[in-house]
A and B are shown apart, each in its own frame.
Chain A
Amino acid sequence: MRAVRGYFQVQNFLEVETPTRVFSPGQEVHIDAIPASDGRYLMTSPEYHMKRLVAAGLPRIVQFCRCFRAEEAGPIHQPEFTMVEWYRAGGTMDDLVRDCEVIVEVAARAVGNWPTVSIPANRRGANQNNRFTIEAPFARTTVRELFSDHAGFKLRGDESSDELRNLAERAACRVGPDAGWDDIFYQVFLDRIESHLGVEHPTVVLDWPLPMAALARRKADDPLTAERFELYAAGLELANAFGELTDPVEQRARFEAEAALRRQRGGAVYPIDEKLIEALGHMPATCGIALGFDRLVMLVTGASHIREVLAFAYDET
C-alpha cells in the first residue's frame, strides 16, 4: 500500500476522500448497492464524486477507499473491498496502462517478487509452470480480436440480441433463456475467452463495444466502440479504465436506459445523480481507472484466496 501511494505522490496526484454514504451509488445494471438509511447507500465505487472533483478543476486525483457491493463472497470476491481509483485530466488510455505497469511493478518489488510471481495451481489461467512474468510492457488486445480468435465471429457492437444469440450458439455457447445483449456477451466471454486472458503476461483488453461501457466516451474513429480497457493478469481481473464520457446529454440517456433495464429486471432503481450530470458539462477530457487493491496483492503474493490477503474476510468479521 505504501509503495503504491508513493507512486501517486511522485506523479503529483492529490489524494482525496469522497463520501461513503451516497444517494446515487451507481446505475450499473449488475451492481447492487447496500442501503445505508436516510435514502443513502454505501458507495459501490467513488466514481461519481471523483468526477465532480475533476470537473471542479483537480487534474490528477487518487483515492484509496472501501467499496461495498451486495454480492456473494468467493475466492476473488468480497462484498467489501479496497479500491484504488484515479483520474488524469488530459490523460490517455496509454497513460493509464503505463500507470498499471508501474503500480504492479512497485507492488511486486515491495513484497520481493519481481519480475515473476507464482500462481496458485487452483487459479484459472495458471500456466504450466505456474510462474507469471509481470514485467512491462503488458500485452494488448481488443475485444473484437478476442471474439474473432476464440469465439470465431466478428463482433460489431450493434447486433440485435437475437443476432448475438445466434452467433454465440454457433460458437457452442449455451445461452440461458431471457438473456439480454450483455448477458450473451458475457456468456461467450466466460465460455470461450476468459481462460485465454493474461495467461503468460498481464493483458490489457481494449475497445469494448458501446453497450459494455456506460460511462465511457465513444472512440472518435469507431462509433460502436467505447474507450475502455480491462486489465487481466493470471486469472484475475485487476482493473477497469474508461476514457470518461463528458457529454451530459448522452450520459443522461445512458443512465436512463440502465435505470429502465434495472427496473425491468426487478432490481432497485437508484436516483440519477443530477450533480454529476451537471458537472460533466464542464469536465475536461479525462481518463479514469479503478483497480482492485486486494487482487493486486493477491497477484504479487501468489495468494490462492482473497482471504489470504485480508486480516478479516467477510465471514470472519
Chain B
Amino acid sequence: MASYDTSDIRKGLKVMLDGSPFTVVEFQFVKPGKGAAFTRTKLKNLLTGGVIDRNLRSGEKLEPANVETKQMQYLYKEGDTFVFMDTSTYDQVHIPEETIGDDSRFMPEQIVVEVLFFNDRAVGVTLPNFIEQKVQATEPGFRGDTATGVTKPAKISTGASVNVPLFINEGDIIKIDTRSGEYLERVGRA
C-alpha cells in the first residue's frame, strides 16, 4: 500500500505508528515562528482506545494501517467466544470474550455491530450507541415513593443490570446508552 503524506491527514484516516493502528481524531496545521510547517494531530489507538498527541512535520510519511470495519450480526455465544456473521458475505468469525470486554453485557443475539479488523484479525467491536431491551426482572416500585432520582436495578435479557426509575415494570421495553450503560427512557409498556 502506498504511504500517506502529512497533507493526506484528515479525520478518520487510519495509520500505523510504532506498530499499532491509529485513527486521526483531530488535526490542525501549525507553523511555529519561522520554522517548518507541522500538522498537530490527536490520534486514537484502535487497539487500546488510548489517545495520543503527535506533531508531524510536513512531508513526513505515514504508513496506512491495514484496518477495515465490517457490519456483522452477533449469532450466539460458544464457550468463551462470540460468533458473528458478516451480513454481506455470511462468513462467520469467532471473537474471544476479552476482545469485546464489558460491551458484551449489552449485546443481545441478532444485534448488528461494527467489527474492526486489523491485519484480518478482529480486534474490536463497536455496538450501536443505543439498544432497546425488555426488562426481565425488577422489584415493583413502591407507591408513594416519589422522590426524584431514586432508582432500582433491573435485569435485561442480556443479563446486564441497569439502574432504572421506580416506575419501570417487568416486561417494559427500555432504551439504554451502550457507552455509559445508563437507562435513557421507556419506549414500550408491558
Chains A and B belong together in one complex: yes
Instruction: Assess the A230–B56 pair: CB atoms within 8 A.
Output: no
Instruction: Assess the B28–A74 pair: CB atoms within 8 A.
Output: yes
- A158 at interface, CB cutoff 8 A: no
- B57 at interface, CB cutoff 8 A: yes
- CB closest residue in chain A, given B62: A176
- CB closest residue in chain B, given A240: B33
Instruction: Assess the A186–B38 pair: CB atoms within 8 A.
Output: yes
- B10 at interface, CB cutoff 8 A: no
Instruction: Assess the B31–A30 pair: CB atoms within 8 A.
Output: yes
A residues near B56, Cβ cutoff 8 Å: 176
Instruction: Assess the A74–B30 pair: CB atoms within 8 A.
Output: yes
A residues near B28, Cβ cutoff 8 Å: 74-75
Q: When chains A and B are docked, how far (Å) is the Cα of A28 from the Cα of B33?
A: 11
Instruction: Assess the B57–A212 pair: CB atoms within 8 A.
Output: no
- B149 at interface, CB cutoff 8 A: no
A residues near B57, Cβ cutoff 8 Å: 176, 179, 183, 186-187
Interface residues of B, count at CB 8 A: 17
A residues near B35, Cβ cutoff 8 Å: 30, 182-183, 185-186, 189, 212
Q: When chains A and B are docked, how far (Å) is the Cα of A161 from the Cα of B36?
A: 16
Q: How far is the CB of A11 from chain B (nearest CB, A)?
A: 26
- A174 at interface, CB cutoff 8 A: yes
Q: Encode A140-178 as 1/0 by CB contact (under 8 A) with B.
A: 000000000000000000000000000000000010110
Q: When chains A and B are docked, how far (Å) is the Cα of A211 from the Cα of B55?
A: 21
Instruction: Assess the A191–B55 pair: CB atoms within 8 A.
Output: yes
Instruction: Assess the B30–A190 pair: CB atoms within 8 A.
Output: yes
Instruction: Assess the B32–A190 pair: CB atoms within 8 A.
Output: yes
A residues near B31, Cβ cutoff 8 Å: 30, 71, 77
Q: Encode B16-56 as 1/0 by CB contact (under 8 A) with A.
A: 00000000000011111111111010000000000000111
- CB closest residue in chain B, given A76: B30
Known: A174-B54, A182-B35, A212-B33. 10 other contacts (CB 8 A): A29-B34, A29-B36, A30-B31, A30-B37, A176-B57, A186-B33, A186-B35, A189-B33, A191-B55, A212-B34
Please provide the 6 A-B residue pairs with the shortest distance between their CB atoms, ordered closest to farther.
A186-B35, A74-B29, A176-B60, A190-B55, A72-B29, A30-B36
